[in-house]
Structure 1
């Protein structure tokens, strides 16, 4: 397998982000300020020699990816591709709910009142397991289901990437935070969410991930 870099960019700010609502597999368009920060990210990344460009299959990620590719020096060679494997976590019953209220309902039985408090006390994977447990339909993804999906995405990238490649991947806040938590060796504070259109870099070396920077604002 190859050693390559993944440029993980969070999508621009959406209407649900603006209203602080749970936005997993549900989707809302980029808000005007979301388009603006995505365009800033595109300008900041325009000279990166991307070998390939991917996004989740959510419109907010697709649109952000297209803006970045359109500005890139390799725009005439890059064809953005969708990967459902890098969707946001699925929140089941809590999709579209007020975010602080949802996390209070999920965390309170475990002695935590906020998303950040659940992470600090129990870890990122627990936020997924607690949500599936609290979901009256149990449709939300638990940690095992989530990582099976995401890991299959990395396996697909391995079949495409070559040594030294830089790959653009536009994904989502909790997904980027989860990847950073799992592969950062404790160097980054994942109780803080990556900002919209921020950059997180990781190296994948023969199937091993290492996050090298987190939540870098591009402007």
Structure 2
């Protein structure tokens, strides 16, 4: 084979490989969403029911949001989401300030709201548990909470029990919450794909986040309550969702360690 022909073949092979890599890059539709629960609020500290009712962050809530922001600093986020709840927006603002992000826009999706607890809103958490636990087969609140913390109590019957015994008949059902939270998730992913975004930061609320991922993973961790500012990491790729982390406090711990040095 003549040298000139060999050179042409080699060049064509290199070009084909480069085009293939370029197309592969263009076709990479991976989107990573870091969902975090808001920081501790006044209602949280008073042990009051807080769904669509709202209250501001406590000093402890602001601190944990700062830790989270510091722990997320190494990640370059392309866009930010919360619901229209003040506690979620405030948490995001604290995080972004700690990360040094400026000139940002917070996109609001009502689908990221917490579960609506109807007539129980603003009342004692002890009351809503006492009224609903019997429908779930529990005789004591201790056994109820022990199973919840252990992941033995699925989120669907919990939400539906509250909806069933709500005195105002306004509380959301599991299917209602799942529909709107997963619609919000799909909206964020579609926006990211349209805009070429890879990393998304979203602030939501504990029980609604549990509902959102309830049928996206088989991990028992999906049933465990989410502490303030802990992270649920979700990856979207090739039309499928994968839940990478549930209730992770690693980012909080990392940020706290860095800030306390």
The TM-score, its normalising length taken from structure 1, stands at 0.89
Distance apart, 1:45 and its partner CA: 0.9
Counterpart position of 2:207: 174
The alignment yields a C-alpha RMSD, in angstroms, of 2.2
Quick check: 1:35 aligned with 2:43?
no
Once the two structures are superposed, residues 177-219 of structure 1 have per-residue CA deviations (whole angstroms, 9 ceiling, x without a partner) of: 223433232252623x211111221112344322111222213
Shift in CA distance, 189/215, structure 1 to aligned 2, threshold 3 Å: same
Question: Does 1:145 pair with 2:176?
Answer: yes
Separation in 2 of the partners of 1:160 and 1:128? 29
The correspondence of residues 1-219 of structure 1 with structure 2, limited to 5 A, is 2-72=29-99, 75-76=101-102, 78-112=104-138, 113=141, 114=144, 117=147, 123-162=154-193, 165-188=198-221, 190-191=223-224, 193-217=225-249, 218=252, 219=256
| Contact 2:210–2:222 (Cα < 8 Å) also in 1 | no
Q: In structure 1, list runs of 5 or more residues that go unmatched.
A: none
Q: How many residues align?
A: 217
Distance 1:92 1:116 in 2: 25
Name which one, 1 or 2, has greater alpha-carbon Rg: 2
How far did residue 51 of structure 1 move?
0.8
Contact between 2:178 and 2:211, CA under 8 Å: does it hold in 1?
Answer: no
Residue 71 of structure 1, CA deviation: 3.1
* Structure with the higher helix share, 1 or 2: 2
User: Which string of whole-angstrom CA distances, capped at 9 and with x for unpartnered residues, describes residues 10-35 of structure 1?
Assistant: 11100111111111000010011111
Q: TM-score scaled to structure 2, two decimals?
A: 0.76
Equivalent residue of 2:244, what SS?
Answer: strand
In 1, Cα distance between the equivalents of 2:64 and 2:111? 25
Q: Could you list the runs of 5+ residues in structure 2 that have no partner in the other structure? A: 1-27, 257-261
**Which runs of structure 1 show a deviation greater than 6 angstroms over 4 or more consecutive aligned residues?**
none
Contact persistence 1:7–1:169 (CA under 8 A): yes
Partners of 2:126 and 2:235 in 1: CA distance: 33
